[in-house]
Structure 1
Amino acid sequence: MISLSPQAALWFLVPVAVVSFVAAFNDLKRMKLPNAVVMALAAIYVVMGPFLLPFDQYLWGFAHAAVMYVVALFAYAYLGVGAGDGKFAVAMSMFIPFSDLGAVLMLFAAFLLGAFVAHRIARAIPAIRRATPDWVSWEHKKFPMGLALTGTMVTYLVLAAVIRAL
């Protein structure tokens, strides 16, 4: 079974965390995940992947993205998932070997619930609302799913680096 090595996870972690932070901030502030952020995440994989991953695993990442693209289109068309969220999930999928899919889905479910509750609590606190008056997500009926996606991605890399290194 192919897994992400601890070394690859560590090398990916810093640039992915930076891009993920920008994505989460944009989703909270504007309820949008810009294409530039999605492209930056994909570029990290495309540029660093050949140096960090076995070549077959690197190529499988593109296959994962193609499958996730179909899933994201379905989710956008029929489930109300935002287009930016779907595109970000496609870029994320390149980093995740198939053997880790179950763990990542459980991680995403936990982050989705946690981020939803945290967002709803935060928007109910007047001091937070005053500090971020121009954030669209406070008034929007939908939830900024980029928050859960980015948390999942960064946590997955941290766990892949720490747990597999033990």
Structure 2
Amino acid sequence: MELTPWAASWFLPFVTPICIYVAYMDMKSMRIPNPSVVALFAVFAIVGLVALPFDVYLWRYVHLVVALLIGMGLNAGGLVGAGDAKFVAAAAPFVALADLSQIALIFATALLAAWLAHRVAKHTAIRRMFPDWDSWTMKKDFPMGLALGPTLVVYLATPFL
């Protein structure tokens, strides 16, 4: 079952502020705070009861478990941060299995745009506006929340585009 406008209209208003906060905090501190991940999960747990048919709602918890296990493996291998893995796991129930290729395309685009925007901002007056952000000085790490948050928001907005 694909994302329906009904489900998207229920999830989008609650998910958007959380995703904006995640992007901001990851840029500022290079961390995705656990309360934001818990809030994202709580939105699915509560709003999902209204937004999705009950059988679909229950099956979407499998998405969370699978994403969490994959994320834990990637984190153990040093490929992704723990916050990124937890955020993806909390976001996974919002995504319909039939939309995996769509979410992959959205993520690839968001990652490229986020990387480019971050690099441009790092070398312009924007950096002087936020001089204490940790993401400016990290050599190897990138604030993935800057791409992960917008990916979920854009995915939930697609039925309206």
TM-score of the pair, normalised by structure 1? 0.93
Paired amino acid for 2:58: L
Q: Aligned letter for 2:12?
A: L
Q: CA deviation at 1:55?
A: 0.8
Q: 1:147-166, aligned counterparts within 5 Å?
A: 147-159=146-158, 161-163=159-161
Matched with 1:99 is 98
Task: Report matched runs for 1:1-166 at 5 Å.
Answer: 2-125=1-124, 127-141=125-139, 142-159=141-158, 161-163=159-161
- Tell me the distance in 2 between the aligned counterparts of 1:101 and 1:78: 24
Q: What is the DSSP-based 3-state SS (H/G/I as helix, E as strand, rest coil) of the residue aligned with 2:22?
A: helix
Q: Percent identity?
A: 44
Q: Secondary structure at the match of 2:105?
A: helix
What secondary structure does 1:94 align onto? helix
Structure 1 distance, partners of 2:83, 2:19, is 13
Deviation at 1:80, TM superposition (A): 2.4
Matched-pair contact (CA < 8 Å) for 1:19–1:40: yes
The amino acid across from 2:126 in the alignment is I
RMSD: 1.0
Instruction: Check conservation: 1:57, 1:97, Cα contact below 8 A.
Output: no
Q: Which string of whole-angstrom CA distances, capped at 9 and with x for unpartnered residues, describes residues 16-57 of structure 1?
A: 001001111100000000100000000000001111100111
State the AA in 1 paired with 2:38: M
- Which ranges of 4 or more aligned residues in structure 1 deviate by more than 4 Å? none
Residue 79 of structure 1 and its aligned partner are, at CA, apart by 4.3
Aligned counterparts of 1:136 and 1:10: Cα–Cα separation in 2: 34
Specify the SS of the correspondent of 1:134: coil
Task: Give the AA of the match of 2:100.
Answer: L
Q: Gapped runs of 5+ residues in structure 1? A: none
In 2, Cα distance between equivalents of 1:64 and 1:42: 12
Amino acid at match of 1:137: S
